Amino acid sequence: MTKVDKLQELINNFIDNQNFMGEPSELYAPIEYILRQGGKRMRPTLCLLACELFGGDIDNCMIPAVSAEIFHNFTLVHDDIMDQAPLRRGMETVYHKWNSDIALLSGDTMLIKAFQYVLATKKEYSYDVFAELCKVALEVCEGQQYDLNFETQDDVTLDAYLEMIRLKTAVLLGSVLKIGAIVAGANEKNQKGIYDFGINLGLAFQLQDDILDCYSDVNIFGKMTGGDISDNKKTYLYLKALELASEEDKKTLLELFKMPKGRNEEKIKTVLNIYDKYDVKGVVSQVMTEYYENSLRNLDSLEAPEERKHILREYATYLYTRNK
């Protein structure tokens, strides 16, 4: 069992020993449902790894780490409502299993619980952790709003898309790493360095997610592939295809992405054929690699033992090369 496996086992055991139920049961059952599903536990794992990297005690970091996981799952519950997604981690989404009203309220409750967990941390760093979680919560909401705005905008740029995914995805990775560093008592330089590592890793992670959404197997990926195309999401793949395509193919893409949201296999097939024609997957993979390599440079610059950096480096490589 690797170091990461052991940490994830500790995280799962901690969550399994928490009681998320209450009354009315309709409010709390969805919280139990989504938090018991497991998932990658990437965010709390990164939080604990950052704490250990700077010589901290992971026992002191477990509650902040789990608060970040609860917060992350809150964002997933609300995201699935907006995307009307039927599957998450190979299982029904909360909104699909119950309804959107219950999913909305349960998500709100999870956000509150995430902050309650932070308040249970040691007073010597609870304020800094709370401030960081508040900051990232606002940024994630800003990113989500940009994502919604892009659905009706015809002038979305690649830079605008990268800023959106920085806010929607990457900042949470940066913040959980910084929180681990705060708990460990790391200096400001190292806090910034580990945060920057998370930002670059998060951008690479989201670009990989965009690729997997189009090209992965649903049985491996855990949700319907082609979902971004069905939802008319202007991902990096779509924007790069518009940049590279002939006028005829560009016109086809623009018309297809004006169609009503909903599963349309012919639409997905046509879009993927255009992506393949211009090797959009390969181009986006190169951009993803650049962010991944930047994250490793951030990691190398940190003032920490090399053997501890190695564990984070291995985990970053796993996230970069994953297929789900």
CATH number of the domain to which 247 belongs: 1.10.600.10
Number of structural domains in the chain? 1
Does the pLDDT value for residue 2 go beyond 90?
no
- Is 219's pLDDT higher than 80? no
Residue 163 has pLDDT above 80, yes or no: yes
**With 70 as the cut, is the pLDDT of residue 233 above it?**
yes
Whether pLDDT at 5 is above 90: yes
**Which pLDDT does position 221 carry in this prediction?**
62
**Residue numbers of the domain that contains 241:** 3-321
105-157 residue pLDDT tens:
999 999 999 999 999 999 999 999 999 999 999 999 999 999 999 988 989 99
Tens of pLDDT, residue by residue over 38-59, are 888 999 999 999 999 999 999 9
Residue 1 predicted with pLDDT over 60 = no
pLDDT at position 262 is 85
How much of the chain, in percent, has pLDDT values that exceed 90? 87
**Tens of pLDDT along 53-98?**
999 999 999 999 999 999 999 999 999 998 888 888 889 999 999 9
pLDDT of residue 89: 86
| Global confidence as pTM | 0.94
3-state secondary structure string across the chain: CCHHHHHHHHHHHHHHCCCCCCCCHHHHHHHHHHHCCCCCCHHHHHHHHHHHHCCCCHHHHHHHHHHHHHHHHHHHHHHHHHHCCCEECCEECHHHHCCHHHHHHHHHHHHHHHHHHHHCCCHHHHHHHHHHHHHHHHHHHHHHHHHHHHCCCCCCCHHHHHHHHHHHHHHHHHHHHHHHHHHHCCCHHHHHHHHHHHHHHHHHHHHHHHHHHHHCCHHHHCCCCCHHHHCCCCCHHHHHHHHHCCHHHHHHHHHHCCCCCCCCHHHHHHHHHHHHHCCHHHHHHHHHHHHHHHHHHHHHCCCCCHHHHHHHHHHHHHHHHCCC
